[in-house]
Structure 1
Amino acid sequence: MMTLDVSTWWSLLCAVALFNIAAWLMSSVALYRRQALLPPRAYSMRRLQLVLSAAYVLGCAFRSALPVFDVPRLCLIDSWLSSVVVGRSVATIAELCFVAQWALMLHEVSGSTGSRVGGFAALLIVPLIAVAETFSWYSVLTTSNIGHVVEESLWGLSAALLAVSLMLIWPRLSAKQRPLLSAWCLIGLAYVAFMFMVDVPMYWSRWLADEASGRNYLSVYQGFADVSGRWTVSHRLQDWQSEMVWMTAYFSVAVWLSIALVHAPVAQARLETSSGV
């Protein structure tokens, strides 16, 4: 039986997942109704944003219903769908789609304002996260948290590139669009601070503790066999407590940002904007 705390948390995740799916459906209807108001290229970009957002929304909903703590192979629901190989595969696809959304948004805004830095960053973000996902799989398969240190550092670096690019673009946008860009910059900077002050140090300390205890890691081959056929059901609060905060925020706020990107306004540069960074 689940403890009350774990049951309440899981119910919250499931409720948020259902809300997110409903929000995405409403978002798709709203985008269709706006078609006549958008330039053809802008509408095509937002339809692509909608498809990418669908993958992220559904991926996060799946992970909300079947939470998995990857390295110790813990899950809430006793099912093969709760295996790490399934959960990590879903997460990889969803996260690459989410990052592709940000890259598309940055590419569009950079093109409208003539920002070379933003255009370069837009090309770099998705490959960086693809490398981060590779290190995530390494950690998940071998149970060595050093891969997560690299993974989360690359996520933080990508967010920093995005935030800096948006700050450089900020003076180039029309005055009415600057408040939204400012909000995105603040969110990005807050995320970077969280990653490098909380998340990366957490995984680093876990790796140091494993090294100090002489933990034996799995090979990649052994790890793949392990994540495919072994999972441990746990309903204890102490097993999930370290994961609750980030999972709750990630499966809610991050999903809302994904849906919001579908309706990002068409970038309008200042009339006097000149070429440059």
Structure 2
Amino acid sequence: MTISVATWWSLLCAVAVFNISAWLLSSAALYRRQAQLPAEAFALRRWQLLLSAGYVFGCAFRSALPVFDVPRLVMLDSWLSSVVVGRSVATFAELCFVAQWALMLREISHSTGSQVGRKAAVLIVPMIAVAETFSWYSVLTTSNIGHVVEESLWGLCAALLVASLIAIWPRLSPRQRPLLAAWCACGVVYVLFMFMVDVPMYWGRWLADEAAGRNYLSLQQGLMDVSGRWTVSHRLQDWQSEMTWMTAYFSVAVWLSIALMHAPVPAPLTTAAAEPRR
């Protein structure tokens, strides 16, 4: 194993341990705050806690056992490293993560009376479910065109979330707007990355495969392939294209997931305006 790959893999594993520790501490902190929260708000944050667990532990698993899906590359020679296991864990974790954002948007929209936010909260989970279907299509057939659609849907979902938060902005208490602004900023950066880097990367890979006359697998052939074939590789050139997104995904995205369980209870502008000045 090259030093650079070993260092990167060790970093992923260390971040995974940190993330699990942070989730456990956050869980304890949430229950200590239970008496300070309205019953409905605590119930929603308990759902956030459970959904975050699915994402945190799913990403920790994928950090310890990285998989490069289409070429079937893995770090460890084990069936746990197989693409079918890794992609199944990823699907569950990603649906948990987007469900967290849907719950957050639903709570803010309900508090502020935003119809735009309510509709977006209903749409984003089905959108990502469709994206996961296209992801499986690409993983099974080895055709990157499915990843183009998948990543485009993720980008559109994030854009819809940002647009909804912007629409909610005038209705929210001024003291909570900085948090909303931070979420929007993260969302804009993510959308730009998806449509300027990620989607073009997969589009370029698909065009290269088409130009080379690549023969794709059928869905049945692909299912057999992902279940029983994996290639152990520790070469930098094999993993270099995956390092940036995996590192950010298994760190920053996980921290956002953990933070969502501690999001403040939304305070509408009308409520804030009615409070006496201090």
TM-score category, normalised to shorter length: over 0.9
Correspondences of 1:249-264 after superposition (within 5 Å): 249-264=248-263
Correspondences of 1:108-119 after superposition (within 5 Å): 108-119=107-118
Q: Letter of the aligned partner of 1:151 in structure 2?
A: E
Deviations 1:122-144 (A, max 9, x none): 00000000000000000000000
Distance 1:89 1:234 in 2: 21
**Number of positions where the alignment pairs a residue of Structure 1 with one of Structure 2:** 272
Distance 1:155 1:32 in 2: 32
Q: Letter of the aligned partner of 1:71 in structure 2?
A: V
Q: Letter of the aligned partner of 2:256 in structure 1?
A: L
Distance 1:244 1:77 in 2: 17
The CA RMSD measured in Å over matched residues stands at 0.8
Aligned to 2:24: 25
Look up the SS of the partner of 1:271 in the other structure: helix
Correspondences of 1:121-136 after superposition (within 5 Å): 121-136=120-135
Aligned to 1:71: 70
Q: Letter of the aligned partner of 1:3 in structure 2?
A: T
Q: Letter of the aligned partner of 1:226 in structure 2?
A: D
Q: Letter of the aligned partner of 2:173 in structure 1?
A: S
Report the TM-score, using the length of structure 1 for normalisation: 0.98
Distance 2:185 2:229 in 1: 41
Report the TM-score, using the length of structure 2 for normalisation: 0.97
Correspondences of 1:60-209 after superposition (within 5 Å): 60-209=59-208
Distance 1:4 1:177 in 2: 45
Distance 2:242 2:192 in 1: 18
Aligned to 2:275: none
Deviating above 6 A after TM superposition, structure 1's stretches of 4 or more consecutive aligned residues are: none
Distance 1:226 1:174 in 2: 53
Distance 2:178 2:170 in 1: 11
Please state how far the C-alpha of 1:272 moved relative to its aligned partner.
7.5
Distance 1:187 1:272 in 2: 27
Distance 2:258 2:170 in 1: 26
Q: Letter of the aligned partner of 2:58 in structure 1?
A: G
Give percent identity, aligned residues only: 79
Look up the SS of the partner of 1:128 in the other structure: helix
Look up the SS of the partner of 1:141 in the other structure: helix
Q: Letter of the aligned partner of 1:52 in structure 2?
A: L
Distance 1:55 1:92 in 2: 10
Distance 1:196 1:110 in 2: 27
Please state how far the C-alpha of 1:271 moved relative to its aligned partner.
1.1
Flag structure 1 segments of 5+ consecutive residues without an equivalent.
Answer: none
Deviations 1:95-125 (A, max 9, x none): 0000000000000000000000000000000
Please state how far the C-alpha of 1:169 moved relative to its aligned partner.
0.4
Q: Letter of the aligned partner of 1:216 in structure 2?
A: N
Distance 2:246 2:190 in 1: 14
Distance 2:264 2:97 in 1: 18
Q: Letter of the aligned partner of 2:268 in structure 1?
A: A
